[in-house]
Amino acid sequence: MPKPEIHVFVCSQQRPPGHPRSSCGEKGAMNVLQTFSEKLIAAGLTNQVSLVATGCLGPCRAGANVLVFHPATAAEGGVWYMTVDPSDIDAIISEHLVGGVPYADKVAPDEIWQ
């Protein structure tokens, strides 16, 4: 496998029901991960994109969270996406992973960390 240029991290943290921080797992993260996988295969991008399920990425209330590291947006240190659901995946792939421009509709604002 060649070294991937792009890295996509999908939070798949699962916490017990009623946990005060909630979790991306409760918010459909596994469907997001599965859809990303299927769409990357269909687009022939599996050698260029590394897709990784992770533990907690941080802002749980805004899940499902996705973090993308792409050469075109490297100066930003990664692009955070929030409230991602399977219907957002095509746009994230075409606009950001292929086009190099973050999908603005789901980019998390800096305030998410407050």
3-state class of 37 per DSSP? helix
pTM for this prediction: 0.92
Domain spans of the chain, in order of start: 6-113
6-113 topology per CATH: Glutaredoxin (3.40.30)
pLDDT tens by residue, 52-85: 999 998 888 888 999 999 999 888 889 999 999 9
Q: At which residue do the structure tokens 């859809």 appear? A: 35
List the beta strands (DSSP E) in 12-111: 49-54, 66-69, 79-81
User: Residue 111, class by beta-carbon neighbours within 10 Å (0-12 exposed, 13-18 middle, 19+ buried)?
Assistant: exposed
pLDDT tens by residue, 11-64: 998 888 888 888 888 888 999 999 999 999 999 999 999 999 999 988 888 889
Spatial distance between the Cα atoms of 73 and 27, rounded to a whole number of angstroms = 27
3-state class of 84 per DSSP? coil
